[in-house]
Structures are given as structure tokens and as C-alpha cells.
Amino acid sequence: MISRRTALIAGGAGVAVVGGGAGAIAVANREKPEPPSPPSTRDGKVLWRNWSGIQHSYPAQRLAPKDEGELAAAIKAAPAPVRVVGSGHSFTGLIPTDGTLVTLDGMSGITGWDGDKAQVMAGTRLGALGPALAEKGRAMANLPDINKQSLGGALGTATHGTGRTLKAVHGDVTALTLVTAEGKVIEADARRRPDVLAAAQVSLGALGVITRATLNTTINRRLKRQVWVEPLEESLAKAEERWARHRNFEFYAVPFTGLAANITHDETDEAATVRTPSQDDAFLEVLRSLRNLLGFSTGMRKAAAKALLGSVEPETAVDEGWKLLSTERPVRFNEMEYHLPAEVHLKVLAEVVALIEKERPDVFFPIEARRVAPDDAWLSPFQGGERGSIAVHAHYKDDYRLLFELVEPVFLRNGGRPHWGKLHSLKAPQLAALYPRWGEFLEVRRELDPDGRLLNPYLKALFGVG
Ligand SMILES: Cc1cc2nc3c(=O)[nH]c(=O)nc-3n(C[C@H](O)[C@H](O)[C@H](O)COP(=O)(O)OP(=O)(O)OC[C@H]3O[C@@H](n4cnc5c(N)ncnc54)[C@H](O)[C@@H]3O)c2cc1C
């Protein structure tokens, strides 16, 4: 066995050799040109762009309030559409506006405690919340793959991690403060406006600006992470048992290799280990090189990728959960993720992998499978029962239409609900059929934003307005 780092370097060298011998093989990737987006317009409006670069706009006005009073006063007269942004990590058209862009970067941090519940400003980045909670010996129960999101943004799209008993971030919200487009400040909890709480927990910035939320927290425990590679067949066969047994479990099916990378996290009393920086991105770059060099020759590519992955040594790391659960993702991508009923989760994953391997040799990103516990928020994709998530990625320079043409129909046929922040094609009629509380959400939306000042064209189509 060789170490993961050595494997990657050796794999890279192997690629060079194979590539040199395969000079006649055409590059198979389908790169698309970057859309031009100048940093500012002639009349001085500054570009806003999302993380992956596929969404952009030039807002006429930007608001960066320091407190609720300032926000409430300014938002009333702000040019519409008024859109609130977190850290711009969503892929869908939730944010673009030529009206007003609101950022809560100036409203961040923990403002108080109610027992073990933390009152947190919505502009707080999840990465900053971890150490702030840890000072009190507390932690968020779970975290997504990265921690760059703002709390408001994470709530906005039902951001989640993995774990059969662990809810998405909004599932731990017990109260919140909302500033409407008309400048009203609403306190919502189980007693005061429970309807607004249930609607606003996942609300795409379409009810108003959430300025703070009260969050359940858990004891800040050390977790042990284990990462290993095995045949995909084995991961599929053992996944249910692993979701039942481990605090967190997820796996990544690597197309064209028949292999999967598995990751578990469990509570431990073992001492923290010294960790080397994650090699995941180097790994992705190697897979991309393999795709570019050998895309049309899937046999050779399969052999090279298999050799690379097969030599990866299992990894173990121990640290506090907030330091381990999220990692870095410097390789940019576009993504579609659907949340499926748990009983069809693995069947759909196997179907998607087979379809990609049959139809699209240019895909190289691993396909991610996670589990999420149910909750009651009206627009939560996890409302009504445990869901299994499947995420398919395309490198940011690649054409991502395959996600809509090839993969989305499989998700839809199987009762999937889309991640609100990731690519999907659904509009009001389909969403109404997927969400039993859709009508009630729209009623609360109309009450809080009667003139539709929070709706950009994307949201109008989503909600079937105008
Ligand atoms: C590299 C990468 C990794 C990711 N990993 C995961 C993952 O593991 N799990 C997962 O579920 N998702 C994941 N995502 C998706 C991401 O978590 C969501 O798109 C999330 O909403 C982004 O947070 P943000 O702060 O950037 O919000 P933005 O994208 O800026 O906004 C998202 C939505 O929230 C609304 N919003 C923002 N702030 C507020 C507020 N204060 N009040 C009301 N509404 C508000 C916005 O209007 C918008 O509708 C990932 C995305 C990327 C790019």
C-alpha cells in the first residue's frame, strides 16, 4: 500500500506516460466558453457573480446594514427586485437583480444564548460559527461539505450534510427574526407566528431578510473520520447498514472505475490527530486529466483511474466535528442535487452511474450520495420523511446541459425534490405537486410581500407569479 499523496503523484506521472503514448487520442471534454461579464457597467454598476460563475447581475443599489433598524428603514424605499445574498454559493438564479442587493456581512456573530440554544446573526459564515460555538463547548449538529455559506443562505436553500438522524441546518432553527420588504420586523417562533417560522425556515429570500435565528446546538465532540475506497457494488450493498450505524456516512461513486470512496464520522474519545491538507482536489485534477487525455478511450481511462484509486490507502483523522465535517472545494463546478425517497435512493444512484457511463465519457466528477433526516419546514425537501441525496457535478468550464438532459429525468421519475440552490428545471406546477404545504407558503408570501418586491424573474417563474 502507498499513501494517498504518493498515489496521486504516482497517478499523475502515470497519466503523463499514458498520455504521451496516446498522443493521437482526441481530447473528449466539452468545454464551454466563459460568458463575458465586465466588472462594471458604463453607468458604474458593479458586477455580482456567484461562486461557479454562471449567475451574474449588476444591481442598481447595494445595502449592507449594520442592524435591523437600518435594514428596515432602507429596504422600504430600495429599488425592486430586492434580493438578499449570503456568500453567493448557490447555482440557481435566486440572487441576480438589477434592483437592490442586500448583504448581511455587517450582521454577524452570536448575540446571546437561551440555555443551549444560540442566537446567531444571519450574516454569520458557518466557518466562523464553529469556533464561536466551540468557545462555549457547543457545536452545530451537522455541517455541509463546505462551511463558506452564511447562516441565512444555508437556511435559504435547505443546506444539509449527511447522517440519517441529522437534519438539514434549518431543522435546528427554533425562532427567527424577519425584516419584510415593507420594513416590518417579525419575530417568529412556536408561539408567535408559527406559520411564518414554518414558511421562513426554508424560503429562498422570498419572504424577507432573516436577520437572526435561534439554533439548537449539541455538545462539541471529537469525531473520527475514516475514508476508504472499495468496489462500488460493495458500497451500494452496505450503504443502508452504514447509514444506520454511523453518525455520518456518505460515499462518492467514481464513474468509469467501478469504485467508490466512502467516508464515515463517529464520536470518539481518541486524541486529535495532525492532519495534512486534503488531497481531494489534486485527485479531481488527476481524474480530469484522465478524462481529457483518454475521454474517448474509456477502457484505458478506466484502467488508469482504477489503478490510481486502487492504490489509495485508507485514511483516519480525529478532531472536533466543526474542524472535520466541512472541507475545501477549490475546484469550481456546477451541480445538480436531488433528494429522493430513501427507499429508491440507491437504485436511482446505480441507474445514474450506469447512464453516465453509457452516454457521457466526458464526466469525471464523482457522484455523491448522502442521507438526511426529516423535518417539518414547508419548503424543506426533507419534509415528510427521510431522503437520500444524489449530487452530480460538471467542471465549471464544461457544458452542464447533461445534468438536465440525462440525469434530471431519472430524478423526477423517482419522486425527487431538487436542492433549491442547485441546478434544476422545475417551475410552480411541478413544485406544487411535490410540496404539500406549497399553497400555504404562497399565502404567507403574499401577506408579507404583497407587491412582489422580493421577486426576480427566476423566482416569479418558480412561484408562478405574474
Ligand atoms: C462548493 C460548494 C459546496 C456545497 N456543498 C453543499 C452541501 O454540502 N450541502 C448543501 O446542501 N449544499 C451545498 N452547497 C450549496 C450551498 O450550501 C447553498 O447553495 C447555500 O444556499 C449557499 O449559501 P450562501 O450563503 O452562499 O447563500 P446564497 O447562495 O447567497 O443564497 C441562497 C439563498 O438564500 C437566501 N438568503 C441568503 N441570506 C438570507 C437571509 N439573511 N435571509 C433570507 N434569505 C437569505 C438568498 O436570497 C438565496 O435565495 C454547496 C455549494 C458549493 C458552491
> Are 329 and 370 spatial neighbours (Cβ–Cβ below 8 Å)?
no
Q: What is the dihedral of CA 55, 60, 66, 71, to 10 degrees?
A: -100
100 C-beta closer than 6 A to ligand 1:
no
Please name the helix (run of DSSP H) or strand (run of DSSP E) that holds residue 372, with its range, or none.
Answer: strand 367-372
Determine which residue's CA is closest to atom 10 belonging to ligand 1: 159
From CA 417, how far away is CA 439, in angstroms rounded?
A: 17
For ligand 1, the distance from its centroid to the CA atom of residue 272, given in whole angstroms, is 30
Determine which residue's CA is closest to atom 50 belonging to ligand 1: 89
Whole-model pTM: value is: 0.93
One-letter amino acid identity for 407? V
Domain 104-220+335-466 has CATH 3.30.465.10: yes
The H-assigned helical ranges of 252-320 are: 280-294, 298-310
112: helix, coil or strand?
A: strand
Domain range summary for the chain, segments of one domain joined by +: 1-30+222-279+287-331, 48-103, 104-220+335-466
From CA 88, how far away is CA 216, in angstroms rounded?
A: 25
> Are 453 and 81 spatial neighbours (Cβ–Cβ below 8 Å)?
yes
Ligand 1 atom nearest to 52, measured from its CA: 53
87 C-beta closer than 6 A to ligand 1:
yes
Who's near 38: CB < 8 A, 6+ residues apart?
A: 47
For ligand 1, the distance from its centroid to the CA atom of residue 157, given in whole angstroms, is 6
Tens-digit pLDDT string for the chain (466 aa): 334 433 433 333 333 333 332 322 333 344 555 556 899 999 999 999 999 999 999 999 999 999 999 999 999 999 999 999 999 999 999 999 999 999 999 999 999 999 999 999 999 999 999 999 999 999 999 999 999 999 999 999 999 999 999 999 999 999 999 999 999 999 999 999 999 999 999 999 999 999 999 999 999 999 999 999 999 999 999 999 999 999 999 999 999 889 999 999 999 999 999 876 665 666 677 777 777 766 656 677 778 778 877 777 888 999 999 999 998 888 899 999 999 999 999 999 999 999 999 998 888 889 999 999 999 999 999 999 999 999 999 989 888 999 999 999 999 999 999 999 999 999 999 999 999 999 999 999 999 999 999 999 999 999 999 8
For ligand 1, the distance from its centroid to the CA atom of residue 152, given in whole angstroms, is 8
Ligand 1 atom nearest to 159, measured from its CA: 11
C-alpha cell at 374: 426529516
296: helix, coil or strand?
A: coil
C-alpha cell at 36: 463575458
Closest CA to 93 of 459, 341, 392: 459
| CATH node for 48-103 | 3.30.43
Inter-helix orientation angle 4-21/298-310, to 10°: 160
